Amino acid sequence: MLDLGTSFIASVERDPGAMAVAEGDLTISYSDWYCRISALVDALGQIGLRKGDMLVTAMQNRWENASLHWACQIAGIVITPVNWRVTADELDHALRDSEARVLVHDDAASEAVAGSALAADLNVLPLDGDQGLAAMLAGRAADAVPQAGADDMSVMLYTSGTTSKPKGVPRHHRAERAAAIAHVAQNMYGHGERTLGVMPLYHTMGIRSLLSASVIGGAFVCLPRFNVPDALDAIEKHGVDNLYLVPTLYHDIVHHASFTPDRVASVRKLGFAGASMTDGLLQKLAEAFRPELFVNHYGSSEIYTFPSARTLPPNPDQRAALRLTRDCAWCRWARLMSARPAHPDKKAKSSPPCREMKLSRATGTAPKRTRRPFATAGTSPAIAGTSTKTAICSSPAGPMT
């Protein structure tokens, strides 16, 4: 399995002239983006960052943020993104817990940075200014060479902190690239397709969209902050093929006064996660988008492969199968395995439903150099998008893949 830096450079070599990232009127090809990212890798080295160092970000989904994520993968720097709505206390917790050396932020997080007790002791890079992130991307440097290996840490994401302080969950390059490839397979993305980059890059949904776009030689169309008019403009302007959103954003889009099916005519594949979707919204989206593929990704903390439908079944009972409830999904893998006796003297057991399966797998978390007892492979707590079980599910209702 390749590290992510090598994976990105392979995409550059395959499709140098293809659009790689866009925001507003700005479009950047893979070859141009690699030049800018190489300049950023060089600049991060000049301020003292080395392989294995931790870098915290608090930024919206702008193209500079996506560039920083790739620069860290190439340089072997562990990027630790936090919500750009972060408070000063929350930011200090992430800075202290991650042992960050550098903090990068845009104006959305400037108030939290100003109120941080720890930021003053770090190298703080704003988006703008002579020494800011944008200036680093505008520099010149030799082509960057990947410094990380597949088993090195790639990213550390923080849980939401609903039960206690947010916990950092490290992920290594091997797991992140495997998850990106799985995302491509589950959503049946094709070569050169374009994805709307609106899900935040401090969450697995956003990171999965960014990495999978590179895997297919496609484009990541940045939307710094979601609002329906800007989303529709981005879809129209850049011919977005794929949407991967939470149900509330889909609801806002199709019920907005400026929405018409013609404005989203380029969109062929829909995916959702983060929450379940009602039958009414499923039907509304099917009528408004008429997608070739509709993928339910909800529940990605618990399972790894997901049901999808090329067409939305007309029967409500069949539509319910798309919700991936434990009662309607049967594990094909379990049926195959249960048909084979575990021992010559034992009879095969009948196949259980998914709710009875306890199929553990490596979570893809990397050993952490800091004091974090759960940060070893196979023991990390599940967060959204981090697989802890494997189940290849099918349903008797509707065409599932």
Q: Write out pLDDT tens, residues 30-58.
A: 999 999 999 999 999 999 999 999 999 99
pLDDT confidence of residue 280: 95
Question: Which of 63, 12, 5 minimizes the C-alpha distance to 221?
Answer: 63
Contacts of 271 (CB under 8 A, 6+ apart): 187, 242, 243, 244, 245, 294, 295, 296, 297
Average pLDDT, the chain: 81
pLDDT confidence of residue 299: 72
Residues 91-135 pLDDT 10s: 999 999 999 999 999 999 999 999 999 999 999 999 999 999 999
Identify any residues that bridge with 56 across adjacent strands, giving them in sequence order.
80, 103
* Residues 192-202 as b or e (16 or more Cβ within 10 Å = b): ebbbbbbbbbb
Antiparallel, parallel or unpaired: β 269-272 and 293-296: parallel
Question: Which of 180, 244, 156, 172 minimizes the C-alpha distance to 11?
Answer: 180
The larger pLDDT score, comparing residue 352 to residue 25, is at 25
The residue type found at 188 is M
**Angle 148-365-204 from CA coordinates, rounded to 5°:** 90
Residues 284-317 pLDDT 10s: 999 999 999 999 888 765 555 555 556 555 555 5
CB count in 10 Å sphere of residue 369: 13
Q: Could you tell me the maximum CA-CA distance found in the chain, to the nearest angstrom?
A: 74
Question: Which of 295, 298, 292, 289 minimizes the C-alpha distance to 311?
Answer: 292
Question: Which of 239, 294, 295 minimizes the C-alpha distance to 267?
Answer: 239
Residues 67-78 pLDDT 10s: 999 999 999 999
pLDDT of 379 > 60? The answer is no
Question: Which of 174, 219, 144 minimizes the C-alpha distance to 365?
Answer: 174
